Structure 1
Amino acid sequence: MADQNPNVPRPGTGTPWYARLATTAGRPAVLAATLIMSMPGEYHVARFAGWSDPWAYGMPFSLSAYAGIAAVVAATRPKGARGRVSATTGAVFAIVLALAAQVVAHLVNTGHMDHDQAWLIAVTSMVPPAVLAHLLHLAATPTPVVAPSTSVDTVEDAPVVERVAPVAQAPVLPPMPEQAPQLPPVEKPVRRIVYRDPRCAAIRPLYWNGTRPGTAAMRAALAMSGHGRVGDSTIRGILRAEVEEHEPVLATYPPALGRTA
């Protein structure tokens, strides 16, 4: 079994149980206590502004609920989302109002401030409609839907992806055009052939280009070899016939271009 991540605390270790209990149960207790302690001051400020019972009790609920809603909206909306700046401003404004209500109430109760002042009455009277307007604005602003994160927290949980190197393929070449079958190469005879008519030796080299020589080419080869003029029937019927008799494959060669029989 794989070891646990050392960065993740194991069960039963880390924060003591009483510290965890204080954090878990202490937060709602502190919230309730602060709301209860803030209510008298906000109630008296509403009475100073001219609200009578039971309407004056709505001021603590308006300020406390407004501050909580604005703070939650500001904290849950992602950065740059529509309505985040407005919610942050409202949260700050609600905290300032709650603090000012407590300060004013205690100054009046201790005799350091006169509650019968026009500006104090005017500012306090504007609180409920301002809170209502801003809450409606936050409710009308759509909350962006954040797609669930697909990131991997630890290296151990990361999926292993095998990368296969692409195999280079040879380029596909177009088909080659059909070509005429190649004839076997003409080689000079390895063994020495002794012809009955020595004039055949002057005709045999004419086959080296892979074709069967014609009468005119053989007549010219005989003349250049010093055999004089030889009749056509002798060239074809005797000399060429003897050459091809010793090497029958020569008779299968294609005729030379422009030859005469």
Structure 2
Amino acid sequence: TKIFGDPSSFVDDAMAGFCELYAQYVQPVPHGVIRSTATPEGKVAVVVGGGSGHYPAFAGYVGPGLADAAVCGNVFASPSTRWVYDVAKAANRGGGVLLGFGNYAGDILNFGLAAERLRAEGIPAELLVVTDDVASEGQGANGQRRGIAGDVVAFKIAGAAAEAGYDFDAVVRAARHANEMTRSMGIAFAGCTLPGESDPLFTVTDGHMGIGLGIHGEPGISEEPIGTPEQIAHLLVDKVLDGKPAGAPQGGRITVLVNGLGSTKYEELFLLYAPVAAK
């Protein structure tokens, strides 16, 4: 991170600028954002969130056909139970609240406790715990995979179902099924630095790529020399297909997401997508 003021207010300052820029879609609430567009009463509220520092996650997923609100914790840190509860209450329209987040221990604890508080007040609330990362099979929270790029797919399906007027149980089923059918694999070329820090959270040997690292620098499975676009594409696709869900239909369509996490340039992603599509 090169541009920052007071590191302790980095998230709040960034959210202020985000809400000014995209006021047609979002409006600020304490520790998050909610949709500024009209939302009908009785609609299921899809509330997503987690630690900040992963833009467009999570505030960027708020808008028509997507999430109704996002809870924004500190950089790479789970939002508190109170923050999740407050944002969910602001987003609630009487149809229940689906709380979506990646599979990390702090998020499971805080979103889970917030869901209990909502239920105690008579508001239907369920969790959508995203578990897509094949590199962390059995190593994430609760012995499952970590949640990384699969957030995009699961949240989009949940948001579309809620926008279409599905009832609460149907939205939950659609979202969880989307998660169950989603797998991802990532690589890293370098580590990231937190606002105000000089050293990266992790390092990758020059000329190499870390295979399967988590979005906060959690350990991957190997480190290999950077290959050609074709070699990288084949590595990623093969790893994802090796983790194919048991319930996936034979010969079914596959939706592909190539995601640079805001760091890898679009042109480089295009180089990867061509051999992915051909494979």
TM-score, normalization by structure 1: 0.18
Structure 1 or 2, whichever has the larger Rg, is 1
Which has a greater percent of helix?
A: 1
Which has a greater percent of strand?
A: 2
